[in-house]
């Protein structure tokens, strides 16, 4: 009787895993046929051969680009090189990517940039917030942009026990931002388990100088995030939520 129960449970588990694997394959569009499309007016931007993860653009047309992300399970074209932040002037006819210098006091060798977000203060000072993954952990780095020198001045690192597996951020004010947590787990194999079973345990966090809190949860993989012009709503993928008052 015990063997029969064990075999029944094993069979049910295998069926469940098989079903989840098929659903995961469908969600990843693994069977989709990719058609070749001519790039029309597109062309390769030199200097970004190692990939670009995120972009945020100033009203003036200057664009910040994070590049060189190293992430578990994702191939990397330059595994021994640290990540960089590039600047492009989109007003130019043929924009070029220029790597921004980063001031001392910041460990540039461990720079592993992911999502980025710009904040412009009342005095027109530009700050760049960068999701960083040193040693595959998650921090948020704050830099001040020096336009004349084409450089970033390191100001501060934000860490919190809830800020794990952070993917992207959108800044609302000084040290106030939404952050997407794309996975509940941080271990690579547990992340695969989470994705295959579609556990929907990822969430959205809100950080302010007084703390961090979860403001939305129940997502397969909360990814990029943005905010409406009046800052009343933030959106990540297909959901929206009101900003905290």
- Residue numbers in the known binding site are 53-54, 116, 167-168, 223
Please give the C-alpha separations between residue 176 and each of 2, 14, 53, 225, in angstroms, as whole numbers: 57, 45, 22, 14
Q: Which residues are the active-site residues?
A: 114
DSSP state of 70: -
Tokens of 188: 């690579």
Binding site per annotation, positions for Ca(2+): 53-54, 116, 167-168, 223
Angle, helices 2-27 vs 188-196, to 10°: value is 90
Cβ atoms within 10 Å, residue 177: 25
Q: Say how far apart CA 192 and CA 183 lie, in whole Å.
A: 10
**Cβ(124)–Cβ(145) below 8 Å:** no
DSSP state of 135: G
Tokens 């579609």 belong to: 198
Tokens of 241: 């939520």
**Cβ(207)–Cβ(164) below 8 Å:** no
């Amino acid at each position: 009787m015990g063997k029969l129960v064990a075999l029944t449970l094993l069979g049910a588990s295998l069926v469940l895993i098989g079903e989840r694997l098929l659903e995961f394959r469908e969600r990843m569009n693994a069977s989709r046929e990719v058609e070749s499309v001519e790039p029309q007016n597109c062309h390769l931007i030199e200097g970004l051969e190692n990939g670009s993860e995120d972009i945020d653009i100033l009203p003036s047309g200057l664009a910040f680009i994070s590049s060189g992300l190293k992430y578990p399970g994702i191939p990397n074209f330059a595994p021994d090189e640290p990540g960089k932040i590039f600047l492009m002037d989109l007003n130019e006819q043929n924009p070029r990517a220029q790597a921004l210098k980063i001031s001392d006091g910041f460990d540039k060798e461990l720079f592993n940039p992911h999502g980025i977000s710009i904040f412009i203060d009342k005095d027109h000072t530009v700050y760049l917030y960068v999701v960083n993954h040193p040693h595959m952990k998650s921090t948020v780095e704050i830099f001040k942009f020096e336009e004349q020198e084409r450089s970033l001045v390191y100001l501060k690192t934000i860490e919190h026990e809830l800020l794990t597996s952070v993917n992207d951020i959108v800044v609302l004010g000084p040290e106030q931002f939404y952050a997407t947590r794309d996975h509940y787990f941080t271990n690579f194999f547990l992340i695969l388990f989470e994705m295959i079973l579609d556990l929907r345990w990822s969430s959205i966090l809100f950080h302010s100088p007084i703390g961090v809190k979860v403001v939305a949860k129940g997502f397969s993989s909360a990814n990029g995030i943005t905010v409406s012009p009046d800052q009343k709503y933030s959106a990540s993928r297909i959901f929206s939520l009101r900003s905290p008052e």
